[in-house]
Structures are given as structure tokens and as C-alpha cells.
């Protein structure tokens, strides 16, 4: 096509989860409930781990930041998605789309790294308990979280810049419910080799390195638990890791399903289902996983509710 005939895209149209009109209202209420539970659960975790004196440990410091990340990840996606269920014209501006992609990448990369950091924290706590407060000191915790956010922010800026430095001059219809990388690359009329390479290297590096940290940490944790002579000690050690192991399994299982499936089986519809899971469902499940299987969090919730009720009666 001659350069003079190109029409540059200034906005995109999001097809959403489904293009069937009769499903828009039911899906709106389903995802409204999911987002509401996500907000309530993660804000609850953030509040409890901030105000309860019994939860001022590295484990709950990292859990608080995981809740912040989950809240941010779903908030980048859900409000626009909910609005699009109710409107006929499901458009998003060029810069709004770029911002959403950057925000999504920031939070998803930060979550991958935070789960790896939490696995390392559990490894030190169980395998080297005498050195725990030295190796995972408040300063180290703050440094690890800061580096996680900084790396996530850098990845979001670099990758979204690569994607939106391409030219979009044909279709502007994104077969997705948010501005994701693969659907955007399929719309570009530029050579996508360089951004595809950068995205692949970045995703593979983040996923593989974090997965190695998680697997090695839990391999050593399991060995340490098996060496314990006391059944009570084994039970206590396992209970401190069970919630995180469940969250890690759900999160990495979804990502591995998405990225390791054969190319012949890949479709954007499958991508949408997996994306719903790790951007909306997992952030909703994590607070439930960490609260329902954690005695400390349940005890902190009871204390918080008791103090709140007492305060209200005093007023």
C-alpha cells in the first residue's frame, strides 16, 4: 500500500469477552461480582497486614504487596471491561490503550517476581530459621519490593513502547477485552519481528527465572520438612507454606497452560479465557486462599472485627 493511502489508527475497538448481545448484561454482573470480591478481599488483606501487630513479619509484608499488585492488576482491566458491557461503542483511545497495556505489564511482572520473593522468604524461614531475621531483614524486604516494582515499571515502559512504536493502519478491532500484546501485534502493518523478539525474551526470562526460584525453594522446603522428626513441626512448617503453594500453582499453572500449548492449538479465544483467569479470577482467589488457610490472618480478622464493634458501641 502506498504511504499516501495509509490511515493511521487513533482509537481501537475492543470486542470484549463475547460479542453476543444477549450475554452482555449477564457478563456485566458476573464480572462486577468478581471485581467487587477482588476489591474487598485485597483491601482486607492490606488493612489487616497494616494494622495488626501480629502480622508485622516479612511474610505478611510481602503478602500485603501481593494484595496491592492484585488490586492494581484487576483495576487496570475491570472498570473499562465493565463499561464496555453496557455501551454500544466499545472504543478506547490510542493513548488509553497504551496506558492500559503498560499498567497490565507492570502489575503482572511485579506479581511474577513477588511470588518468587515469597517462595524465597518461606525457604529461609523453614530451612534457615536462625538466620531468618538477618537474611530477610526489614531493609532487605523493602529493597526486594522496591526492585520488584522498579523492574515491573521498566518492563511496562519498554515493552509498551515497542508495541506502540509500530504503525497501526488497517483494522482497529482488537479481539480481546483489554489491550494485550498479541492481539495488538496482529493488527500492525509494520514489521513485528523486533517487538515480538523483545516480548518473547522478556516473558521467557521473567517466567523461567521466577519459576526456577519457586521450584528450588520449595524443593528444599519439602526436603527440610521431611527431615523434621516432630510430626507437629512438619505440620506447622507445611501450614505456613500451603497457602503460597496453592497460589503459586494456580498462577503459574495458568501461565504455563497459556504459553506452552502447541502453536497449532493457539487461538485468541483461548487467550481471552486464560487472561480472564490471571487478570481477574486469580486476584479474587488469592485473598481467599491466604485467609481461609491461614490461622494468623483469620485470628487477625477476628481481632479487627472485635475492636471495630467495640469502637462502634463506644461511640
In a domain, 4, yes or no: no
- Residue 300: per-residue pLDDT: 81
- Angle at the Cα of 228 (from 225 to 232), degrees rounded to 5? 90
φ, ψ of residue 92 in degrees (nearest 5): -140, 135
In a domain, 5, yes or no: no
Buried b (16+ CB within 10 A) or exposed e, 182-208: ebbbebbeeebeebeeebeebbeebbe
Q: Is the pLDDT of residue 1 over 70?
A: no
- pLDDT tier for residue 303 given thresholds of 50, 70 and 90: confident
- Cα atoms in the 13 Å half-sphere on the side-chain side of 264: 0
In a domain, 6, yes or no: no
Beta carbons of 119 and 217 less than 8 angstroms apart:
yes
In a domain, 295, yes or no: yes
Give this prediction's pTM.
0.90
> What distance lies between CA 93 and its chain's CA centroid?
24
19-75 pLDDT tens trace = 888 999 999 999 999 999 999 999 999 999 999 888 899 999 999 999 999 999 999
- pLDDT tier for residue 235 given thresholds of 50, 70 and 90: confident
In a domain, 176, yes or no: yes
- pLDDT tier for residue 312 given thresholds of 50, 70 and 90: low
In a domain, 1, yes or no: no
123-155 pLDDT tens trace = 998 888 888 988 999 999 999 999 999 999 999
- Here the CATH number for the domain that contains residue 263 is 1.20.1070.10
Number of structural domains found in the chain: 1
In a domain, 2, yes or no: no
Say which range, 134-148, 215-229, 266-280, has the weakest mean pLDDT.
Answer: 266-280
Q: Which domain holds residue 80?
A: 11-313
Quick one: average pLDDT of 111-129?
92
In a domain, 212, yes or no: yes
Amino acid at each position: 500500500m502506498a504511504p499516501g493511502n495509509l490511515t493511521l489508527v487513533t482509537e481501537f475497538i475492543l470486542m470484549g469477552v463475547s460479542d453476543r448481545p444477549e450475554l452482555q448484561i449477564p457478563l456485566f454482573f458476573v464480572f462486577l461480582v468478581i471485581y467487587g470480591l477482588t476489591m474487598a478481599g485485597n483491601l482486607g488483606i492490606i488493612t489487616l497486614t497494616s494494622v495488626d501487630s501480629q502480622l508485622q513479619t516479612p511474610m505478611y509484608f510481602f503478602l500485603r504487596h501481593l494484595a496491592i499488585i492484585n488490586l492494581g492488576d484487576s483495576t487496570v482491566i475491570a472498570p473499562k471491561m465493565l463499561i464496555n458491557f453496557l455501551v454500544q461503542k466499545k472504543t478506547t483511545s490510542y493513548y488509553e490503550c497504551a496506558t492500559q497495556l503498560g499498567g497490565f505489564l507492570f502489575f503482572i511482572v511485579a506479581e511474577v517476581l513477588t511470588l518468587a520473593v515469597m517462595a524465597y522468604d518461606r525457604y529461609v524461614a523453614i530451612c534457615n530459621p536462625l538466620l531468618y531475621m538477618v537474611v530477610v531483614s526489614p531493609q532487605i524486604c523493602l529493597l526486594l519490593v522496591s526492585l520488584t516494582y522498579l523492574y515491573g515499571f521498566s518492563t511496562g515502559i519498554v515493552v509498551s513502547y515497542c508495541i506502540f512504536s509500530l504503525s497501526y493502519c488497517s483494522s482497529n478491532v482488537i479481539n480481546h477485552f483489554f489491550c494485550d500484546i498479541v492481539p495488538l501485534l496482529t493488527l500492525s502493518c509494520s514489521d513485528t519481528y523486533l517487538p515480538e523478539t523483545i516480548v518473547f525474551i522478556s516473558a521467557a526470562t521473567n517466567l523461567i527465572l521466577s519459576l526456577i526460584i519457586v521450584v528450588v525453594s520449595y524443593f528444599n522446603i519439602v526436603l527440610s520438612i521431611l527431615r523434621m522428626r516432630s510430626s507437629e513441626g512438619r505440620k506447622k512448617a507445611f501450614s505456613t507454606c500451603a497457602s503460597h503453594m496453592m497460589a503459586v500453582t494456580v498462577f503459574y499453572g495458568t501461565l504455563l497452560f497459556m504459553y506452552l500449548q502447541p502453536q497449532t492449538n493457539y487461538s485468541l479465544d483461548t487467550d481471552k479465557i486464560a487472561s480472564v483467569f490471571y487478570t481477574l479470577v486469580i486476584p479474587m482467589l488469592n485473598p481467599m486462599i491466604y485467609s481461609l488457610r491461614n490461622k494468623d490472618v483469620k485470628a487477625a480478622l477476628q481481632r479487627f472485627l472485635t475492636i471495630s464493634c467495640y469502637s462502634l458501641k463506644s461511640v
